[in-house]
Amino acid sequence: MKKYLLPKGLPFYKANLHCHSTASDGEFTPEELKAAYQAKGYSIIAYTDHEVMVPHTELNDDHFLALSGYETEIMSDYPLDSSFKYRQTCHICLIAPEPDARQVYWTNVYVTKMLRDKHPELVATYADVPDTKRVFSPEGISDLMQTARRNGFFVTYNHPYWSLVDYKMLSAYHGMHALEIYNHGCAMGGYDEYDPQLMDAMLRGGQRVYFVAADDNHGSRSRFGGWCMICAEKLEYRAVMNALHSGHFYASTGPQIKELWFEDGQLHISCSPAAKIVASFGIRKKVCIRKEDCDLTEAVIPVDKNDIYVRVTVWDEAHEHADTNAYFTEDLFA
């Protein structure tokens, strides 16, 4: 019996799930971002401005969906020196379950500073709300993420390399839905924000996390480099959020994954022309390499019940990659 890991017959929607506009420190207005991203084939933007969630439902139409969200930060109390660039920090995107949901985590000094001139009506909304205490610790960060989850938010942990976070620290955080496997804004700044080793370490350690690629765009240099392809019933807020929570998406910087299913102990993948297809099983790997004068557009990969999980990376000739989420063998063989 076939188990479709990306639902069969449903459309894919190209999405940037980490985006900054003029509502905080972005260069472009929400309207300008919509126009630019639509021109590149995107259907979804999660507007995740710093510390403030500004709904942009006025941008929604039959071909575009604006998700409400925000990026919040917890910074260590003890920097390695006095410079910001050496402080350990934690940045988390929270994407709301409904466009008009209330923030679950805020600090009024940020909200007031960001919104005073641009959205004064939202300043009044949060005027009587007490600050949420920020604690840079495994318990404090986990509590933030778990509180957001309980309120229906989709929680992503952002740019771990830029944040000076290693596996020991990251594995102590519990509550994220997804980890940024690729952050284009940081990559354009010279940071190595594609880290499959960290990804596998998290999975081997028992964290069932998804993986997203996103722009984290603040200006024109950091656009259109990393995205998610979301497989949803329709371009509607609740349908897209259900797809995210169900893991019905993959991350990409270029290649397309068309179908993904499991049948009789084998994983089947169909994709755009690839240079190689790499399957990771927790410890071992299997590589399918394109033969000369023959396009590599599909692969059949045996999975052993003793493997921890399987996930697949599709590499094209330009060394761009598409990464599936991980599928655990105890579920595949159930």
- CATH of 254-334 among 3.40.50, 2.60.40, 2.40.30, 3.20.20: 2.60.40
Tell me the pTM: 0.94
- Residue 294's pLDDT is what? 85
Q: For residues 154 and 95, is the Cβ–Cβ distance under 8 A?
A: yes
Q: Which residues of 99-123 are buried (b: 16+ CB within 10 A; e: fewer)?
A: bebebbbbbbebbeebbeeeeeebb
Segments of the chain scoring below 50 in pLDDT: 79-82
Relative to beta strand 309-315, strand 276-280 is antiparallel
69-89 pLDDT, tens per residue?
999 998 876 544 445 556 788
Q: What is the Cα 207 distance to its own chain's centre? A: 16
CATH architecture of 10-253: Alpha-Beta Barrel (3.20)
Predicted local distance difference test score (pLDDT) of residue 79: 46
Place of tokens 């929607």: 13
Rounded to an integer, what distance in angstroms lies between the CA atom of residue 257 and that of residue 6? 9
pLDDT tens per residue, range 137-181:
999 999 999 999 999 999 999 999 999 899 999 999 999 999 999
Alpha-carbon distances of 182 from 179, 211, 214, 237, 249, rounded to whole Å: 9, 9, 6, 24, 15
Cβ(228)–Cβ(161) under 8 Å?
no
Residue 77, pLDDT score: 65
Domain boundaries, the chain: 10-253, 254-334
Q: What is the dihedral of CA 95, 100, 106, 111, to 10 degrees?
A: 110
Pair 162, 138: CB distance under 8 Å: no
pLDDT the model gives residue 111 = 63
For residue 67, which of 86, 53, 84 has the smallest C-alpha distance?
53
